[in-house]
Amino acid sequence: MADIFLNNLFLIIAALIMAIYLFLGIISMFQLIDYKRANRYTEFNALLSSPLAPGVTVIAPAYNESKTIVDNIKALFTIQYNNYEIILVNDGSTDDTLNRIIQEFDLVETEYIAYAALPTQPVKGIYKSRNQAYSFLTVVDKQNGGKADALNAGINVSHFPYFVAIDVDSIVIPDALQKLVKPFLSHTDNKTIATGGVIRIANSCKIENGQVVQVNVPDEYIARFQVVEYLRAFLMGRMAWSKLNGLLIISGALGMFDKDIVVQCGGYNSNTVGEDMELVVRMRRYLYEQGVKHKVEYIPDPLCWTEVPATHDALQRQRNRWTRGNMDTLKMHRKLFFNPKYGRLGMLGYPFWLFFEWLAPLVEAGGYVFMLFLLMTSMINWPVFLFLLLFVYLFSVSFSFYAVLFDEFTFHRYHRFAHLRKLFIIPFIEPIVYHPLNVYWAIRGNISFLKGNRKWDKLERQGFSNTASE
């Protein structure tokens, strides 16, 4: 009796998951089409000359980035915007990160009046350049407190009403700020409080002067899997949630925020490893409690390129951290769960995240255990089992193919036939190799969380090379 019940349960869950993903895929498709049509002739560069364009602060925390920091900052100079400042926060680096910046940009410690609206570790000094060409660069040197703390220090020093939080080693495309700021300026009924853009994978791409000049599919399989994974997550998942106004996360690699609201909510939370998600949830929760109509918007344009973990170990640590951050945020904001007071956030976004992002790997692992039990007790109906397995596998493959199709139709970044050949293979291998690993890492993340692990585990990047693989 119990096995029939479990059979039915897993069947219903699987069918429900597939139906929901299908639905989200359809919403994303319409959202992408609408975005392309609406912005086909948009004069984003109107922001470059308009005195009405708001100022934007770019905040980039850095910790022990000595080798690449100068190039990273120079890459930020390629940003095209009318009125912006860059605040680099040296988060207590133990190497010579600060010295290298001081020397390269001719910085001097300066008197600076700023009210610490957000509590942070002590600031040791604020530096500005003597060279007028770098007048928009400010460097904050502070004691180590983690990424969230560094971002809060940057917010305290910032001048402008909007800020962009970025990973210093990400490659931001020149018009990223124009595209990110537009939703803040275009809103009518719902106030835009945060925007994010699609993050693309820069492994094996050719980089010159801080810009991606040749896009390639990564050489390493582990990074290649993530290409399809990111396409699915951004073009099919977040686009749909943006349309449904149920977004819970803006990627830490690149996101723009309304500073006033962030400050009112208390800024980034230094006590969680999922500070990017936690901030968005807290902002939204706060605004629901204040009765302010608002939205968090995702832009399908690839605005930022980042290096993803290319080794098993690095990826495992990243996923472990993501799971812990996820659990932490869900736990902190459990009040939202099916709470109609929090609108779509409480009734849609939060439950989805709970069931599909946190619980789904656990349920899936439960399914594997159940399958093992059936195997050991010889209760498995092989033909039916293989049929269902094939169905789930092919559904997963087709979903990934849709993600590649969406990219092809919209931004078309992988334009060579060789890219397609590589991308077409991934959906077939991914469910067998990569997906089970993800489930395993998610379970380990759960265990780490329960053990009280709150470590950030900095991702060690290999750095971009100037020569792309062919």
Partner 1 sequence: MLRRYKAIAVFTTAMILLIAFSSIVKSWLMQKNWVLEGNNIFDWLHDLGRYLMATIEANQKQSTLLLWLFPVLFTALLLTVVNIVTIALFILLRRWGSIRFLHRKNEMRKKVQASIIEYLYGDSESALEQMKQLKKQMLIEEIISLRKQITGSQTENLQQLFYQLGLDTFVVQKIKSARWFNKVLYIDAAQWMQVYASFELIQPYQYAGNPHLRNVAQMACVNLDTGQAFAFLNILDQSLPIWHQILLHKTMVRSSLPLPDFYSFLQSENASVIVFALNMIRLFSQKGSKDEIIRLVTHHDPVVRRNALRVVRDLNIYEAIPVVKQNFLGETLRVQVGMIQALSLDKPQETFEFYRNIWLDTPRRLQAEILKHVSPGLQAMLLKDMERVQIEQKQN
How far apart CA 403 and CA 221 sit, in angstroms, is 18
* Residue 394: CB minimum distance to partner 1, A: 4
How far apart CA 65 and CA 336 sit, in angstroms, is 38
How far apart CA 310 and CA 426 sit, in angstroms, is 15
Residue 239 burial by Cβ neighbours in a 10 Å radius (0-12, 13-18, 19+)? buried
* Residue 130: CB minimum distance to partner 1, A: 18
Which residue number, 23 or 373, has a Cβ lying nearer to partner 1?
23
Question: Which uninterrupted H or E stretch holds 219?
Answer: none
Asked if 374 and 10 touch (Cβ cutoff 8 Å), the reply is: no
Which residue number, 350 or 406, has a Cβ lying nearer to partner 1?
406
Which residue number, 182 or 206, has a Cβ lying nearer to partner 1?
182
Which residue number, 369 or 379, has a Cβ lying nearer to partner 1?
379
Which residue number, 74 or 415, has a Cβ lying nearer to partner 1?
415
User: Letter for the amino acid at 42?
Assistant: T
How far apart CA 295 and CA 304 sit, in angstroms, is 22
* Residue 435: CB minimum distance to partner 1, A: 17
* Residue 417: CB minimum distance to partner 1, A: 7
**Nearest 5°: CA angle at 196, between 200 and 404?**
40
* Residue 153: CB minimum distance to partner 1, A: 15
* Residue 29: CB minimum distance to partner 1, A: 8
**Distance of alpha carbon 169 from the chain centroid:** 14
Site of interaction with partner 1 (CB under 8 A): 3-4, 7-8, 11-12, 15, 19, 22-23, 26-27, 30, 37-38, 40-41, 43, 46-47, 49-54, 113-115, 117, 161, 182, 185-189, 243, 260, 379, 381, 383-384, 387-388, 390-391, 394-395, 397-398, 401-402, 404-405, 408, 415, 417, 420, 424
Which residue number, 120 or 306, has a Cβ lying nearer to partner 1?
120
* Residue 119: CB minimum distance to partner 1, A: 13
**Distance of alpha carbon 140 from the chain centroid:** 24
Mention every residue, 6+ apart, whose C-beta is less than 8 A from residue 91. Answer: 61, 62, 63, 142, 144, 145, 146, 147, 149, 150
Which residue number, 29 or 79, has a Cβ lying nearer to partner 1?
29
Mention every residue, 6+ apart, whose C-beta is less than 8 A from residue 147. Answer: 61, 63, 91, 252, 268, 275, 456
